[in-house]
Amino acid sequence: MKKPPFDPGTKGWDALRLVRESSGSKGQSAHRRYYASMIHLREQVCGEVWSAEAHVAEGKCRLMEGDLEKAIGAFQQALLLGTPDRDILYLLGAAWYELGMYKKAEWMLSILIADVPDHAQGQYMLSLVYRELDRWDDVRESLKKAVDADPTHADACYRLANCFSLGGGMEAQEYAINLYRQALESEPDHAAALYNMGIYLVMLGRVDEAKIAHEALLPISDSLAEMLMMDIESSARRGKTS
C-alpha cells in the first residue's frame, strides 16, 4: 500500500495556516494567535497521520512546554513520515542531551552534521555531548567546526578558547584571548568570556588590557569583577617585589 499524499484535511490545513501566519505576525496578538493555533493543531494531529509538518509543529509545542519525551515522540513521527526539516535532527539530539541520553544524542547529531556539515548549532551541541562522554579531542574538533561555520557563535568561541587556554603555553593562551574577543564581539555581556580573557591577560603580563576587561565586567558581574581585580592586584604586588 502506497503512502497517501500529504493531505492534512480542512481543519488540519487551517491550523497549519494559522501557525504560519502567526509565526510571521507582529503586535501583541501574535503570541496569542500562535498558541491558539497550536492548540487547534494538537487536536488534529492524531487524525492527520500523514502530516509530517503537523508532527513537527506538535513537537516544537511540546518543547516549549518542557515535555521532552512527548516532543521526541512527535519529532520521530515526523521523521518517519519524511519531513524535509533537518533542524528536527538537531532538536531530537538536543532533547536527548537534556535527558542525559548522550549516545542517542551523539547518533542523531552525527547524522545531522553528516548531512549539513556547516550546521553550527548542531556542531556546538555535539561538542556538549562529547564533553559528557569525556571525548575531549572530539569536543575541540566539533567546536572548531562550529566556529568555522558561524564565527559569531559566542558560546562556541568561548568554549573553544577554554580548550586552548587550559594547559596550553603562551601561544595557546594568546589564541584563546583572541577567541574570547571574538565571542565578545557577538555578545559584549558574556561575563565568563570577559573574566577568562582578563585572567589570561594578567598571566601574560598585559595588566592594562586586563583592567579594561575588569571595567567592562563591573556592570555585568560584581563577583567576577572582584575576583579579576584580586588577580590584577596580586600581579602588581609580584611585580613590585621582583
Tens of pLDDT along 46-72? Answer: 444 457 888 888 898 888 888 999 999
Distance from C-alpha of 60 to C-alpha of 63, rounded to nearest angstrom: 5
pLDDT the model gives residue 1: 34
pTM given for the model: 0.75
Residue 142 sits in the same domain as residue 131: yes
- Which among 8-12, 42-46, 200-204, 236-240 has the top mean pLDDT? 200-204
| CATH code assigned at 58 | 1.25.40
Answer yes or no: do 239 and 157 share one domain. Answer: yes
pLDDT score at 28: 46
Whether 165 and 238 map to the same domain: the answer is: yes
The dihedral through the CA atoms of 125, 122, 109, 73 has a sign that is positive
Do 193 and 139 reside in the same domain of the chain?
no
Q: Which of 35, 62, 85 is the last residue of a domain?
A: 85
% of the chain surpassing 70 pLDDT: 77
Largest Cα separation within the chain, whole Å, is 85
Does one domain contain both 168 and 234? yes
C-alpha cell at 220: 555585568
Last residue of a domain, one of 126, 150, 174: 150
* Cα–Cα dist 137/3, whole Å: 44
| pLDDT of amino acid 235 | 83
- Asked whether residue 233 falls in the same domain as residue 159, the answer is yes
Counting the structural domains of the chain, the total is 3
Same domain, 200 and 233: yes
Q: Range with the lowest mean pLDDT among 23-37, 51-65, 147-161, 197-211?
A: 23-37
- The answer on 138 and 61 residing in a single domain is no
**Where does a domain end: 150, 169, 189?**
150
**Torsion sign (Cα): 207, 213, 214, 216:** positive
Query: What number of CA atoms fall less than 13 Å from residue 133's CA on the CB side?
Result: 18
- More confident call, 159 vs 22: 159
Q: What is the DSSP letter of 82?
A: T
| pLDDT score of 35 | 53
For residues 35-54, give the mean pLDDT.
58
Q: What is the CATH number of the domain that holds 159?
A: 1.25.40.10
Grid cell, residue 229, equals 581585580
In this structure, are 15 and 31 located in the same domain? yes
Average pLDDT value for the chain: 82
Identify whether residues 41 and 74 lie together within a single domain: yes
Q: Do 176 and 107 have their domain in common?
A: no
Taking residues 201-227, what's their average pLDDT? 94
* 84: pLDDT strictly greater than 60: yes
**What value does the mean pLDDT take over residues 185-190?**
96
Domain residues for the domain of 198 are: 152-242
Residue 115 shares a structural domain with residue 194: no
How many other CB atoms are there within 10 angstroms of residue 141's CB atom?
A: 16
CA-to-CA distance for 198 and 209, rounded, in angstroms?
Answer: 8
